[in-house]
Structure 1
Amino acid sequence: MIQFLPTLPAIVGSFLCTTPVAAQSVVPATAQPVALLPAPQSLTSAEGGFTLTAISGIAIPAGDDGARNAADRLAELLPRTGGPNLSIKPHGTIRFERVPGIAAEGYRLTTSSSGATIRASDDAGLLYGAVTLWQLARPGTGGTFIPAVTIADGPRFRWRGLMLDSARHFQSPEFVKRLLDAMAANKLNTFHWHLVDDQGWRIEIRKYPRLTGVSAWRLPATAPGAPPLPRTGGFYTQEQIREIVAYAGKRGITVVPEIEMPGHALSAIRAYPRLGMGVPLPRGVESDWGVFPWLYNTDEPTFTFLQDVLDEVMALFPSRYIHVGGDEAVKDQWKASPKIQAQMKSLGIGSEDKLQSWFIQRIGRYLAAHDRRLIGWDEILDGGITPDATVMSWRGIDGAVAAAKAGHDAVLSPAPILYLNHRQGVTAAEGTGRGELITLAQVYAFDPAPASIPAEQQRHILGVQGNLWTEHARTEEAAAAAIFPRGAAIAELGWSKAPSDFSDFIRRLAPQMARLSKLGVEPGAAVFRPVTTLSPDGAKAKVILSGQAGLPLRYTIDGTAPGGASPLYSAPLTLTMPTRLRVASILDGAAQPGAIDLNVTAATVRRRDDTELKLCTTGIALRLADDAPAKGPRAAFLTDIGNPCWIYQAAPMDGVRSITIDVGQMPFNFQIGHDVDKIRFRTPATPAGEVEIRDGCEGPKLAVLPLAPAARRPGVTRLTASLKPMSGAHDLCITYTARGVNPLWAIGAVQLVTAP
């Protein structure tokens, strides 16, 4: 396992004699620029380099297990990205050396025509030097070329983390290992594993087998009348967990487990009802999303249960930190319990928040007695915490500020900016998640050392962490695409002294995304994917292109794939119809992932999918997957579940005679407390309800499309209605009537149909 760094001032002091990479790098005009991620603290490029072949070899100090591990990791990585298979040799071209005086996790790397030397004082530094050397490798004549560089490097923060929620949706052990590989490739060193939540219990606890026998499984929610979906779930055996922890350790990664308490406890209560407050669990509630009201009770047998669980957890995870959650504990059941209220009075506790503090402090003392440290979400500050507790700040940075000022260590993990369950692109290709957009550029611009934390308290900021909550990341592919490339930006925030400009980050990100793909983790392509806005322009089509990366957009209309020599987009295009339009972001003359290929026709310029429609409100905006089919791709819908209402802005109504709307129904499986009572619909005229289209949300009704043909049908149904002739552009407001929230209807696409 890695060792954490000293305090931030000590880290910074160890690099006072270095210069940031952007200022010191000297790259010959004829050389390909070095593209490392995260950016090293100091880098100087020189002419030349050397070529690796299968006979090059790696030399390590005799008996140095840490150097051997670093050499093994390098030997494993190189072939996966086209390099040679290397073996350990006494006089290898690549040399690992153990030297004193380099800060924890830091390293020195020198490459020249004679080979490469990696020096470090600890195991992690040797490993990170190997990762950097791997990133330097590129195909060359007769082998793999390593350019000549001198690098002095080390991290800015000691905690550079990602959190994976395996409770809402289970991921295979193989995926977890691939994710760990991707983390190591970005010098991320902390894997926060969210193993327990209302929807699932994923860790085998041998003393309590019902936790996984019952609560590792559930039937996914479906809309009324829809075919049932098969049981889903899974759990990690203790043997699998030990294997994953060891796998992570060899890659310099500490695994921090999370066992939620006192809220998010439904899975434990479902298995052992005696742990709860005696409030019955509705059938199927474990398949809901949101904030649940079921809490652990505060009886002695419940603490015995939690301590037994933590005993087995601590035996599996050598991490110094054990995460206990502590967030979103709705206290209604405690408030309604005469027994709890009597206990509070006997303990002299004046509020339910103080009772939670008492609960968490008791667990903290138990962990401390076993030489572990408690870490929890920033709600653990409410009511006071033990002096050695660490705070993970998710409600903005305020929790970290409060923790630092009170003398507590803190990890910055603020929502929404470092919450990777938010959409990262605006097109339908980006999948499901929270509706609010959090782009790669926004993540990269996050300041992990804000001025609101006084300089003398900055030492309490351990680092940064991105979190993936998986309510809406149903598949491993969706999880990977949500985490990366934003996880690479978080890695640079945590490692580099000061981020460089975003355009330089993009230049270095492109080859890193290709490396991650070779490691079996396919990053999302939103940052490179062009965005098209189509509209009719008389008999032709007007096309506006944009993109997140700020790269040149090049296009073709002859069917060929766009490249560095294709026409450059500089102003809106006017195209005859039909035309096949292909567009790509271009970097160093090459097309990047996410290139688009679409047919521009009289129909497509009058079509808007769910992501192109404007939500009337964004109170609880989500992009949700349909509940059918059981296997294979599913439709997705962007909606505000608190106010399902969409606007087709500036709809071109000249010549339009009818409208078709693709609709889907989903279960309303959301725990949103009393807010559900605020959701209002117009009264339906028919049992199944109707889609209504208005000219502006307060304007006259233009069309009514009965939902009866779509009711109780899985998948997407297309509804059609005639429209009276209109001219000009109009904002079409689309809502539906209903007698309740379940099912939840959503719009997949709207098509305006012109007269033949």
Structure 2
Amino acid sequence: MKFSRLTLLGCFLVITWCSSSAQELHADLIPKPNKVVINEGALSLDQSFPVYYSERFMELSQLATDIPGMRISSFELFKRVKKQQPTSIWILESQASDNLRASEYTLIINPRGIVIKSPDVAGAMAGMQSLHQLRMLQDSNALPFVEIQDKPRFGYRGLHLDVSRHFMPFDFLKKYIDVMALYKFNQFHWHLTDGAGWRLAINRYPELTSKAAWRPQAHFQDWEQYGKRYVAQGTPNAHGGFYTQEQARELVAYAARKGINIIPEIEMPGHSEEVLAVYPELSCTGLPYTQNEFCVGNEQTFTFLKNVLDEVLDIFPSEYIHIGGDEADKSHWKTCPKCQALKEKLQLQTEEELQSYAVQQMDEYLQAKGRKMIGWDEILEGGLTDGATVMSWRGEEGGIEAANKGHDVIMTPQSHLYFDFYQFDPRTQPKAFGGYLPLERVYSYNPVSTQIDADKAKHILGAQANLWTEYMPNPQQVEYMAFPRALALAEVNWTEQEQRDFPEFRRRLQKHYALLQDLQVNYYRPSFDVQYDVVYDSAKRSNRITLSSEQFDPTIRYTTDGTDPDNQSPLYIAPIDLAVSATLKTASFLDSARMSPITNVELDIHKAIGKSVQYNTKWNERYPAQGERTLVDGRKGGVTYQDGKWQGFTSDIELVIDLDRREELRRVAARFMQMPGPGVFFPGSIKVWISDNGKSYREAGSLVPHVDANPGVLDIQSFEVKFDKPVMAKFIKFEAKNTKNAFLFIDELVVD
């Protein structure tokens, strides 16, 4: 690393500094920088600092006043070193000798003051945010002497916010941007329009905000259940809102000051029922409340969209404009004379090609205006124009396909980056969209798939998390769902893959909880609930149980004698080995107080473990778990069917266990999951058959599982078929009926 003469001079000029051990001060930044050196000593902040800046960093230098406790005495254009200079802050454009590339920066804090260097504004902005974080993370009024050299892994580092389903106050958007900037995000994807409400004033089409921005129900779910209608602004039941063009311009300028670009999204051709309610002539039927998609055979549709985009382009200087393009129902196009006439005229074969035509019209229009189009991965259907960028959300497949075809891609797969998913056990959390996405799973994501050709990896611009607000009615819930998961994504996007380590990230995160508290962010608090993992050792015929919680250094106590754990129960310090069937009870403690519900871990050393299983019906290929070993490996699943322990079926379950020899049997039990949101239900009935030869079977027992008439968000139950008296058999046939035609998820068959 090379430093300027100014920096080297500062290492020998001790003006105002305080002695401190490196252990007392720290640089636990998120995202983790490429290189950090903490030196002995600290810079006292009990003084005022003049700020010297290179000319291109004049506006950026003003951000020094945003740093809490940093007293700034003056701002001055940097020209040359003055011997009488006091301890100062320098924000300087790097020279060739500094060896810094685009977006790279160095941050040096030493007795002479603070020096940030970068070849460009993006790098200098990152250096300023690192300084801001460093200040907020310290418990004392001092900064550690550090040397940081850093650069981002990806150029696109995004967070999304849907303000259609629930309108968010303008001031909250600024707060959202503030926190984004602090963690080095640089793209705010503003989802401004959707069926639940149009949120940006368009002068040429006033009814978009005088009516299509308002609904008679405050909450999205109620609106969706009761008719999906709109009302005029000012009516007694009007709920909603919109942003004026002046507000949008103000937010664009505010975000730009923090180094963040705002990408507006104007949905088309689907998700547009609010537009068609007030301008029904743009639909295939010509009637309001009949469809969600624009009529692509109607030339007025494109006139409308281009007029809207003209005003959008005037407000937003963003290179990228998002046009949606997802989940369009094409059934109306199939029966619409105008759409079919266009299809015939263009000699198109499918409605997918018709959508592609509509998308291409918008892409060409935006390119003619000097902009680039982004759309969700459905825009790949029917072909895509050169220059379009794909946002891959339905998994990584669309992004992989687009990148290998030479299109730029932003990865935003549901599996890792949909922050409307539950982040802990759904039974303990506010209502969410579904799914399960804990902090560690977000952190584990790598945007560059191994399925992308090496020479095409450059097309992965970065990653973005999406916050769809069906179940986020206010800013507090948005914050709860976004943070701290957004901090994990910040590191995914910024830090080189080989430098990332979740336990080390988790250690640094502990300091950032206090930072988020200082910013009054309503983040999700780490749970005290005990989580467990059980691994069966077939050689020892014993279970090894590992206990943990989201607390960084939890105090966990447990019992195996059936009693509830208290503050005198054994302390968990290492994995527990048990060679008998038992119920382990465990809970978290803080001092002498129990801080969590008691978790019951059912441990079974049963006769089917490790035996062979013949599947007469096959599992769903998306949820194979551990294949034929899954149901007899002694492992119980957790709260998500994506954990590799739950095996999923979309048919009935029918399988046969071969016990190798005739055994005395008393019961067969099976654990199932129910989660109605994504369509996971208990079986309608269960039957157990037994046989000595594997050919002729006799029924041993059956049951009809109790199903709650109003099932909650998640339920996990063990259903037991207990025999009237012990029986002898070598083969067990197990059947579970899929009466809901949905998913059945099963994790273990216990045979005793």
TM-score, scaled to structure 2:
0.68
Q: 1:316 to 1:618 in 2, by over 3 A?
A: farther
Structure 1 residue 507 corresponds to structure 2 residue 507: yes
Structure 1 residue 366 corresponds to structure 2 residue 365: yes
Q: Which residue number corresponds to residue 255 of structure 1? A: 262
Shift of 1:490: 1.5
Shift of 1:193: 0.8
Structure 1 residue 583 corresponds to structure 2 residue 589: yes
Q: Which residue number corresponds to residue 89 of structure 1? A: 74
Structure 1 residue 552 corresponds to structure 2 residue 560: no
Aligned AA for 1:60?
Y
Shift of 1:30: 4.0
Q: Which residue number corresponds to residue 456 of structure 1? A: 455
Aligned AA for 2:60?
N
Q: Which residue number corresponds to residue 36 of structure 1? A: 29
Matched residues in 1 for 2:428 and 2:453: separation?
42
> CA deviation digits over 1:389-425, x for unaligned, max 9?
1111223222223222332221111222211122121
Matched residues in 2 for 1:131 and 1:50: separation?
18
Structure 1 residue 100 corresponds to structure 2 residue 94: yes
Structure 1 residue 378 corresponds to structure 2 residue 377: yes
Structure 1 residue 319 corresponds to structure 2 residue 318: yes
Shift of 1:161: 0.4
**Per the alignment, in what secondary structure is the counterpart of residue 74 of structure 2?**
coil
Aligned AA for 2:65?
A
1:45 touches 1:149 (CA, 8 Å); kept in 2? yes
1:131 touches 1:185 (CA, 8 Å); kept in 2? yes
Q: Which residue number corresponds to residue 52 of structure 2? A: 60
Matched residues in 1 for 2:404 and 2:704: separation?
59
> CA deviation digits over 1:234-261, x for unaligned, max 9?
2212122112111111110000001111
Q: 1:46 to 1:298 in 2, by over 3 A?
A: same
Q: 1:599 to 1:355 in 2, by over 3 A?
A: closer
Matched residues in 1 for 2:411 and 2:242: separation?
29
Q: 1:323 to 1:706 in 2, by over 3 A?
A: closer
2:294 touches 2:301 (CA, 8 Å); kept in 1? no
Matched residues in 1 for 2:67 and 2:257: separation?
13
Matched residues in 2 for 1:390 and 1:704: separation?
49
1:499-538 map, 5 Å: 499-526=499-526, 530-531=530-531
Q: Which residue number corresponds to residue 479 of structure 1? A: 478
Q: 1:237 to 1:693 in 2, by over 3 A?
A: farther
Matched residues in 2 for 1:267 and 1:278: separation?
15
1:677-692 map, 5 Å: none
Q: Which residue number corresponds to residue 76 of structure 1? A: 66
1:60 touches 1:68 (CA, 8 Å); kept in 2? no
1:263 touches 1:296 (CA, 8 Å); kept in 2? no
Matched residues in 2 for 1:706 and 1:424: separation?
26
Shift of 1:546: 4.2
Shift of 1:580: 12
Structure 1 residue 330 corresponds to structure 2 residue 303: no
Aligned AA for 1:329?
A
* Range with bigger deviation, 213-222 or 478-487: 213-222
Matched residues in 1 for 2:329 and 2:342: separation?
18
Shift of 1:386: 2.3
Shift of 1:106: 2.0
Matched residues in 2 for 1:497 and 1:132: separation?
17
Matched residues in 2 for 1:436 and 1:705: separation?
24
Matched residues in 2 for 1:390 and 1:605: separation?
48
Q: Which residue number corresponds to residue 200 of structure 1? A: 197
Shift of 1:703: 10
Stretches of structure 1 lacking an aligned partner (at least 5 in a row): 1-26, 79-83, 284-291, 534-543, 574-578, 585-589, 607-616, 622-636, 644-665, 671-675, 683-691, 712-725, 728-732, 742-756
**Per the alignment, in what secondary structure is the counterpart of residue 416 of structure 1?**
helix
Q: 1:443 to 1:307 in 2, by over 3 A?
A: same
Structure 1 residue 50 corresponds to structure 2 residue 37: no
Shift of 1:600: 6.0
Matched residues in 2 for 1:510 and 1:38: separation?
14
Aligned AA for 1:123?
V
Q: 1:702 to 1:128 in 2, by over 3 A?
A: same
Q: Which residue number corresponds to residue 402 of structure 2? A: 403
Q: Which residue number corresponds to residue 127 of structure 1? A: 125
1:391 touches 1:410 (CA, 8 Å); kept in 2? yes
Matched residues in 2 for 1:225 and 1:326: separation?
24
Matched residues in 1 for 2:620 and 2:109: separation?
53
Matched residues in 1 for 2:445 and 2:349: separation?
38
Q: Which residue number corresponds to residue 237 of structure 1? A: 244
Matched residues in 2 for 1:596 and 1:113: separation?
48
1:111 touches 1:148 (CA, 8 Å); kept in 2? yes
Stretches of structure 2 lacking an aligned partner (at least 5 in a row): 1-19, 76-84, 230-236, 534-544, 559-564, 579-584, 603-618, 624-638, 642-648, 651-675, 689-698, 711-723, 726-734, 743-752
Q: Which residue number corresponds to residue 191 of structure 1? A: 188
Matched residues in 2 for 1:480 and 1:516: separation?
10
1:171 touches 1:476 (CA, 8 Å); kept in 2? yes
Among candidates 265, 270, 288, match of residue 272 of structure 2: 265
Q: Which residue number corresponds to residue 116 of structure 1? A: 114
> CA deviation digits over 1:366-408, x for unaligned, max 9?
1122111111112222222222211112232222232223322
Q: 1:583 to 1:531 in 2, by over 3 A?
A: farther
> CA deviation digits over 1:302-327, x for unaligned, max 9?
11111111011111111011011111
Matched residues in 2 for 1:620 and 1:456: separation?
29
Aligned AA for 1:214?
K
1:580 touches 1:597 (CA, 8 Å); kept in 2? no
Shift of 1:222: 4.7
Structure 1 residue 155 corresponds to structure 2 residue 152: yes
**Per the alignment, in what secondary structure is the counterpart of residue 236 of structure 1?**
coil
Shift of 1:554: 0.8
2:586 touches 2:598 (CA, 8 Å); kept in 1? yes
Matched residues in 2 for 1:517 and 1:28: separation?
26
Residues paired across the two proteins, number = 622
Matched residues in 2 for 1:414 and 1:232: separation?
31
- Larger relative contact order (Cα-Cα within 8 Å, sequence gap ≥ 6): 1
Matched residues in 1 for 2:225 and 2:151: separation?
58
Q: Which residue number corresponds to residue 659 of structure 1? A: none
> CA deviation digits over 1:46-100, x for unaligned, max 9?
21121212x23241227x473443442x43232xxxxx24224365644133223
Shift of 1:549: 4.8
> CA deviation digits over 1:328-349, x for unaligned, max 9?
1121111122321122111222
Aligned AA for 1:306?
L
Aligned AA for 1:77?
I
Q: 1:619 to 1:200 in 2, by over 3 A?
A: farther
2:530 touches 2:587 (CA, 8 Å); kept in 1? no
